[in-house]
Amino acid sequence: MAPAEASALNQVQRRAVGELLRVSPVADDLGRRFEQAGFRLALVGGSVRDALLGRLGNDLDFTTDARPEQVLKILRGWADAVWEVGIAFGTVGCRKADAAGNDFQIEVTTYRSEAYDRDSRKPEVSYGDTIEEDLVRRDFTVNAMAVSLPGIEFVDPHNGLEDLARRVLRTPGTPQESFSDDPLRMMRAARFAAQLDFDVAPEVVAAMTEMADRISIVSAERVRDELNKLVCGAYPRKGLQLLVDTGLADRVLPELPALRLERDEHHRHKDVYEHTLTVLEQAIALEESGPDPVLRLAALLHDIGKPKTRRFEPDGRVSFHHHEVVGAKLTKARMTKLKYPNDEVKAVSRLVELHLRFHGYGSGEWTDSAVRRYVRDAGPLLERLHKLTRSDCTTRNKKKAAALARTYDSLEARIAQLKEQEELDAIRPDLDGNEIMEILGVPAGPVVGKAYKHLLELRLENGPMAHDEAVAALKEWWAGQR
């Protein structure tokens, strides 16, 4: 091993000692209970990896030779709470507080081996008898390490520690066998690249490319969860590029590789694919309190309507008229297919639809009416729309970028100014439905809705009206209707 690699290895080992000492009272106590019952217990997988990276949290994963019913018996009376949600797959969960009051979320899984047949979306689970059996079935070598308890013995049959020091993802066995057992591991490779900034070994990339079609047997929900974790990682560009380069994106998010539009010397336009990845990174830089999946997905999908709307104009320019409208429909369709919650589908689609609204107001001389409509249309998504719009500027022309930023600064100042004068966050007509019915002498029905909409348009156009003015405007409208 090279000196630099040896030094990196020593660093991860030192970090691991500190992290494991922090959780050792709970882990050792649990290990002794399993030992006294005649079973083996080990901290395993992501918990060991994160300890070695110095980022171990309070979620701890263990593996054991005890069967789930025996695990339940050991945990009851020791844990503060026990749940059996994953028991069909050999996993029992519990919560345990240490002497300092720190809560640990613990999962204990029986040694197991799981695999898909060619057509199944669900794994077949069988239990193993040794930790070596369990570790060889794991997705990557950096997740195939364990620490036996209570004696704290390091178990690393696949050299995961060296791979961790090198920051590389390899599989314990051949990648073909691993991805055949569970095709979702191909998505996990991209996800870990995005979360940890790891490189994926060439043979693993080759297997992902060769076996990309295999992802089709995995449920949309599991694919969605991995995609979400990838997009919310610290380095999503790295994971997304891997999905595109291996062809996995063609199966799970085809709108992304479709952005790699062909260009020629006569019809020049921005590289939409690279632009999209840059917009995503710029949106991340504007986040204020951790990853915002709605903002990140909107940034990733904001231009997916461009391939369907591209037109070559007579003067040599390339246009993408109404790509935001087409993109919103494509966003809704893709997110629905991936089983995203309805509220997230609605929010991301709306941001995609609105992302060009700012540019429709020319030089930035916003009227009060335009500001009100902008705020009304964005609704609770306004702050995200601010971030998305600012992120969408990727020009290398510093003068142009500065001008756009100043223009948007001006818009935000106008919004703040009007918010002080009016209730922009809850714009509504100056008369409610009951008042409309009473003034016009009509029952509830379509007429009231039309009158309400007319008054709302007046409110957006002219701002608040006094009660008498609103009544007069309503009567004038009603006279015209009759």
Same domain, 380 and 448: no
Q: Let me know whether 363 and 440 are in one domain.
A: no
Q: Which residue has the higher pLDDT, 223 or 137?
A: 223
The total domain count for the chain is 3
In a domain, 241, yes or no: no
By C-alpha distance, which of 276, 283, 294, 303 is closest to 348?
Answer: 294
447 & 475 share domain: yes
Do 451 and 351 lie in one domain? The reply is: no
pLDDT at 267 over 50: no
Residue 424: what pLDDT? 55
CA 281/CA 273 separation, integer angstroms: 13
* 196 — pLDDT class (breaks 50, 70, 90): very high
Domain carrying residue 441: 433-481
Are the C-beta atoms of residues 139 and 124 closer than 8 Å to each other? Answer: no
Beta-strand relationship, 103-110 and 59-64? parallel
Coil, strand or helix: which one is 318? strand
CATH of the domain at 9: 3.30.460.10
197 vs 53: CA distance, rounded Å: 12
Residue 411 in tokens: 């818009």
pLDDT for residue 324 is more than 80: yes
**pLDDT of 88 above 80:** yes
| Amino acid making up residue 322 | H
Q: Of 143, 166, 189, which residue is a domain's last? A: 166
Write the CA distances from 422 to 86, 289, 369, 433, 438, integer angstroms.
Answer: 52, 28, 12, 21, 26
* 358, 408 Cβ separation under 8 angstroms: yes
Place of tokens 């995005």: 194
Domain assignment present for 275: no
Q: What is the pLDDT of residues 437-468, one digit of tens each?
A: 888 888 888 888 888 887 877 777 777 778 88
Adjacent-strand bridge partners of 103: 97
Residue 132 in any domain: the answer is: yes
Tokens at residue 409, please? 């600064």
Tell me if residue 312 falls in helix, strand or coil.
Answer: strand
Measured between alpha carbons, how far is 56 from 51 in angstroms, rounded to an integer?
5
Is the residue at 309 inside a domain?
A: yes
- Residue 318 backbone phi and psi in degrees, to 5: -115, 130
pLDDT in tens, 292-321: 999 999 999 999 999 998 888 887 788 888
Q: At what angle do helices 342-354 and 293-301 cross, to 10 degrees?
A: 50
Determine the average pLDDT of the residues in 199-227. 97
Clarify whether residues 393 and 454 are in a common domain.
no
Tell whether the model's pLDDT for residue 337 goes beyond 80. yes
Last residue of a domain, one of 166, 198, 221: 166
Residue 160 in tokens: 């995961």
Same domain, 130 and 7: yes
In a domain, 252, yes or no: no
pLDDT tens digit sequence for 401-447: 888 888 888 888 888 877 766 565 556 777 788 888 888 888 888 88
Tell whether the model's pLDDT for residue 16 goes beyond 80. Answer: no
Write down the pLDDT at residue 426: 58
Q: Is residue 204 part of a domain?
A: no
In a domain, 351, yes or no: yes
Q: Is the peptide bond before 291 cis (omega within 30 degrees of 0)?
A: no
**Band of pLDDT at residue 20, cut at 50, 70 and 90:** confident
pLDDT at 472: 84
DSSP-based three-state secondary structure for 322: coil
Last-in-domain residue among 113, 146, 166: 166
- Is the domain of 396 the same as that of 441? no
In a domain, 154, yes or no: yes
1 and 35 in contact (C-beta within 8 Å)? no
Both 373 and 337 in one domain: the answer is yes
477 and 403 assigned to the same domain = no
| CA 355/CA 313 separation, integer angstroms | 23
Do 420 and 437 have their domain in common?
A: no
69 and 85 belong to one structural domain? yes
Q: Are residues 311 and 460 in the same domain?
A: no
pTM for the predicted model, two decimal places: 0.81
State the Cα–Cα distance between residues 46 and 56, nearest whole angstrom: 9
